[in-house]
């Protein structure tokens, strides 16, 4: 049956008809809020390129999480700015590390909030690369040993989910073995399986003070041109025991997300990264786009492509809109 018998506009006529046939929906349950924790007391330093985002001390972080949880956000993703950095990022596996302290405080204050701990070294090394250096490259296998230590330390401090973002080969297997060996067999791994070497991370590096001191991350993060290689990355992580896979950034890589959705039954996450957020805020500030409408459109697009969870700095804004009855 074709036109004129078939007219797709019939179900677009009114808001109620559109809602009846809507295929994808948003809920606060799907959002994960990324947060930056730093030392101090009563500290909240705004991140210039990310309006509404702050580096916060643990006490302020707890209040931010309380508020987000009250808006229906179930999970947060934690990044740390340590008091000191060194060549190997050893403060990341200190029992007294900044994210470890944050996890303990959050578990005590908000026991139901799901704590996802980012596992990587770029915030903890004095050179800003994601592992141990050998010359000017990151030594994959030496870094695995440290990733395992960081993961165990964070899980022991109360992290509910371990989320490695470093892009070393073999890390999921190394982390799984270490967690199991430490009696943490119930702690899941959310692998940033498909993480591209992206210009969209620019504002994050200001937020996390993690820009590399030389070179870039193309030696370990994926080439944005490669979709088939993304499937190989995912397959290896699944074989190594990943419990959930993530694609990052989100909007430029929806094709990869959709391919993963078709191939795997694992839960999938997508990370709407700092640059995606900054572009939205900057264009909206100039009055060039409608902030709320574009924010919700990007989130629904990421869900439609196949994400179960979306890590987004807009989590609370979007949850508030939904609570007010937003329908696209």
Could you tell me the CA-to-CA distances from 141 to 73, 136, 191, 250 in Å, in that order?
A: 36, 15, 18, 28
Distance between CA atoms of 95 and 196, rounded to whole angstroms? 31
Identify the residue among 122, 179, 257, 295 touching ligand PBG (CB under 6 A): 122
Q: Take residue 272 and report the two structure tokens written for it.
A: 């709407």
Instruction: Say which of 85, 107, 195, 281 is annotated catalytic.
Output: 195
* Residue 81 binds ligand PBG (CB under 6 A): no
248 part of the active site? yes
The site for ligand PBG, by CB under 6 A, has a size of 10
Distance between CA atoms of 74 and 76, rounded to whole angstroms? 7
149 part of the active site? no
Measured N-to-C along each axis, helices 228-240 and 254-263 cross at an angle, to the nearest 10 degrees, of 50
Q: Which helix (H) or strand (E) holds 56?
A: strand 54-56
Bridge partners, 115 (sequence order):
76
Give yes or no for a contact between 115 and 90, defined as CB atoms under 8 angstroms apart. Answer: no
* Residue 100 binds ligand PBG (CB under 6 A): no
Looking at the Cβ atoms of 264 and 313, the one nearer to ligand PBG is 313
Residue nearest to ligand PBG (CB): 204
* Residue 151 binds ligand PBG (CB under 6 A): no
* Residue 201 binds ligand PBG (CB under 6 A): yes
In terms of C-beta density within 10 A (0-12 exposed, 13-18 middle, 19 or more buried), how is residue 231 classed?
Answer: middle
Min dist CB 135 to ligand PBG, Å, is 20
- Per CB under 6 A, the segment of 91-99, 115-123, 139-147, 292-300 that binds ligand PBG is 115-123
Identify the residue among 47, 62, 118, 138 touching ligand PBG (CB under 6 A): 118
Instruction: Say which of 85, 149, 248, 324 is annotated catalytic.
Output: 248
Bridge partners, 309 (sequence order):
269
- Per CB under 6 A, the segment of 56-64, 118-126, 142-150, 226-234 that binds ligand PBG is 118-126
């Amino acid at each position: 049956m074709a036109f004129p018998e078939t007219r797709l506009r019939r179900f677009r006529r009114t808001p109620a008809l559109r809602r009846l046939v809507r295929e994808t929906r948003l809920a606060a349950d799907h959002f994960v809020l990324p947060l930056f924790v730093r030392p101090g007391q009563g500290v909240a330093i705004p991140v210039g390129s990310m309006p509404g985002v702050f580096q916060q001390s643990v006490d302020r972080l707890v209040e931010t999480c309380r508020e987000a949880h009250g808006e229906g956000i179930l999970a947060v993703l934690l990044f740390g700015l340590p008091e000191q950095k060194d060549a190997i990022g050893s403060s990341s596996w200190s029992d007294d590390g900044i994210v470890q302290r944050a996890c303990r405080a959050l578990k005590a204050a908000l026991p139901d909030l799901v704590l996802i701990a980012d596992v990587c070294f770029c915030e903890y090394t004095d050179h800003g690369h994601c592992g141990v250096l050998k010359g000017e490259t990151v030594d994959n296998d030496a870094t695995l040993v440290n990733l395992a230590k960081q993961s165990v330390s964070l899980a022991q401090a109360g992290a509910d989910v371990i989320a490695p973002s470093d892009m070393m080969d073999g890390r999921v297997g190394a982390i799984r073995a270490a967690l199991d060996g430490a009696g943490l067999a119930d702690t899941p791994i959310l692998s940033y399986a498909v993480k591209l070497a992206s210009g969209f991370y620019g504002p994050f590096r200001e937020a996390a003070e993690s820009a590399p001191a030389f070179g870039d991350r193309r030696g370990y993060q994926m080439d944005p041109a490669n979709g088939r290689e993304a499937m190989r990355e995912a397959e290896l992580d699944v074989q190594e025991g990943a419990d959930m896979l993530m694609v990052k950034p989100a909007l430029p890589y929806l094709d990869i997300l959709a391919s993963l959705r078709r191939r795997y039954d694992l839960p999938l996450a997508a990370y709407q990264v700092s640059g995606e957020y900054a572009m939205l805020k900057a264009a909206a500030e100039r009055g060039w786009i409608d902030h709320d409408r574009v924010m919700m459109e990007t989130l629904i697009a990421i869900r439609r492509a196949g994400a179960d969870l979306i890590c987004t700095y807009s989590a609370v804004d979007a949850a508030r809109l939904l609570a007010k009855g937003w329908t696209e």
